[in-house]
Amino acid sequence: MKYSWQVKLGIFLVFFSFSVYFLKFIILGDPENTYFYVFNALGFLPINVLLVTLVLNELLSTRARRERLEKLNMVIGTFFSEMGTDLLHSIARKDPDIARVADALTIREEWSDQEFERTKKVFSSYPFRVLPERQDLESMRAFLKEKRNFLLRLLENPMLLEHQTFTELLRAVTHLGEELARREDLRAIPDSDVAHLQKDTERVYRLLCFEWLAYMHHLKRNYPYLFSLAIRTNPFDPNARVIVGQ
């Protein structure tokens, strides 16, 4: 029978503890004192278990969770750098209501946490309407086909289990790409099919906006230099320029 390292460690620790008490009994004698220490140790054992398994384990788990989320934010950053920002920009251009929230989405370097929360409330009540034309769907199909392998690699990342909303976004984007790829000629589809693809696009639009805002907030709190670039490539700001002016 093969023992795991945990079982082997447990046997070793029990044997070591028994050996210490046995040596104490042999060298110092006084069995009553030895029994006294044994029962004292047994009485304190549940407290040791409480400290190790609940308190210390929770601290280690919290630290590990924080590290995983930090790595996941790197994955989310890669998504927006590679395709998310461009996709959001192309969809937002077909939003007939975008002028209503343009000012709220023009993020500034001096924004506080409260301003991000206000923008989140704006998104919560926003309709996320998109009116794509057939040529827009053709362009989106070509773009998503080009990024298909990148999306599949992201979906294979086990860290996505820590972030359900981002996983849902990737699935929605992948589904939209599959819907568009299945149609031979998007210019010849009926209006009813355009309406169906419109709903798929609006689903992506909504999820993409919330993830983009959360990612911008993360950059603002942790990476000012990355936040600066994100502001200068804001897909909702028509005056955004990558070049830093005077």
Mean pLDDT, the chain, as a whole number? 85
Q: Each residue of 85-98: pLDDT tens digit?
A: 999 999 999 999 99
For residue 37, pLDDT over 70 is answered with: no
Q: Each residue of 208-242: pLDDT tens digit?
A: 999 999 999 999 999 999 999 999 999 988 888 88
Radius of gyration (C-alpha) of the chain in whole angstroms: 29
Residue type, 166: F
The CA-based angle 84-198-209, given to 5 degrees, is 30
Would you state the structure tokens that stand for residue 18, as one six-digit string? 């028994």
User: What letter does residue 237 receive in the DSSP assignment?
Assistant: -
Which secondary structure element, helix H or strand E, spans residue 32, and what is its range?
Answer: helix 31-49
The whole-angstrom separation of Cα 155 and Cα 161 is 10
Residue type, 67: E
What pLDDT is stored for residue 231 in this prediction?
A: 92
